[in-house]
Amino acid sequence: MINSRTWYRVAALAMATGVAIASSWPSLSVSALGWSFEDKLQHMIAYSLLAYLAFRGWAPAAGRRAAPWIVLLILACFAAADEFHQRWIPGRFVEWGDFLADSIGVVAGFLVAAWQNRRRAMRTRAGTVHAIR
């Protein structure tokens, strides 16, 4: 049976692959016509889901304080590379607003995953304390 960390890792890699494929698709970017709230929202949602999956898959396994920040740095670099590579895709443009939206999404996904991890740890500690009594 597959454990939950493995599932989150596979899902994060699949999501990253989907993001890379979608951003490599030649088309006219909606945001090329101006600042598009819907476009930025799509970026934030995609990257928050990617970050959530990545943090749930990798950050807890490392057991070090630096691990979440390493995942955050890797995702920020992925977002920058993903945005920059669009320079060579017909009909696509490099937009730093998209990178900003991606980064906001990464932070949001990180915060949700961290909140859930902390909540789970508190419940586990409370259950352990309760079982000892």
Residue pLDDT, tens place only, 113-124: 988 888 877 777
Q: Is the pLDDT of residue 58 over 90?
A: no
Give the pLDDT score at 28.
52
Through-space distance between the first and last CA atoms of the chain, rounded to whole angstroms: 34
In this predicted model, what pLDDT tens digit does every residue of 22-49 receive, in sequence order? 888 887 555 544 557 788 999 999 999 9
Look at residue 130 in the predicted model and tell me its pLDDT: 47
* Rounded Cα gap, residues 45 and 16, in angstroms: 13
Distance of CA 108 to the CA centre of its chain: 8
Confidence class for position 1, pLDDT limits 50, 70, 90: low
Query: Residues 68, 110: contact at Cβ < 8 Å?
Result: yes
Tell which wins on pLDDT, 61 or 113: 113
Tokens of 88: 């060579």
Q: What is the mean pLDDT of residues 55-74?
A: 77
Whole-number Å distance between alpha carbons of 99 and 82:
9
pTM, two decimal places: 0.81
pLDDT band at 63 (very low <50, low <70, confident <90, very high): low
Give the mean model confidence (pLDDT) for residues 51-80: 83
Confidence at residue 131, expressed as pLDDT on a 0 to 100 scale: 46
CA 65, 101, 74: angle at the middle one, nearest 5? 35
For the chain, the helix, strand and coil percentages under 3-state DSSP, each to the nearest 5: 80, 0, 20
* Residue range 66-107, pLDDT digits in tens: 678 888 999 999 999 999 999 998 888 888 999 999 999 999
Residues 6 or more apart whose CB falls under 8 angstroms from that of 53 comprise 8, 9, 11, 12, 15, 109
CA distance 60 to 15: 19
Which DSSP category does 57 fall into? H
